[in-house]
Amino acid sequence: MSPLLFLAAALAGGVGAGLRYLVDLGVARLAGTRYPWGVLVINLTGSFALGLVTGGFPAAAFIVGAGLLGGYTTFSTAMLDTVALWRDGSSRAAAFNAAGMMILGILAAVGGLALGAAIAG
């Protein structure tokens, strides 16, 4: 890997982290903070986008996928939110968060891959 490619991915990761913060903040303003909807939206849109890039634009996969989307998506926050919901006595919400994140994330990635493949022809 060239130093320039590494730098581009690192910068894209910083942009992704900033986008994650802004999306989470915006979704929390719209939906409230009782359930971590922002993290769900972030991880689902990130899964879809990664599928899209991988399926349709593989040359951009490292910078966009590992860089931008690596900084944007957040598995660790999703799992921390699951534990927090469980501790707060919201076991149904915790179960939905854990299982829903995985199942919906897979479906989003499959949808992105299909669209990317269709775009690539």
Q: How many CB atoms lie within 10 A of CB 101?
A: 21
Binding site, by residue number, is 70, 73
Q: How far apart are CA 38 and CA 44, in angstroms?
A: 10
Distance CA 51, CA 74 (A): 16
Numbered residues of the known binding site for Na(+): 70, 73
Q: Work out the number of other CB atoms within 10 angstroms of the CB of residue 90.
A: 16
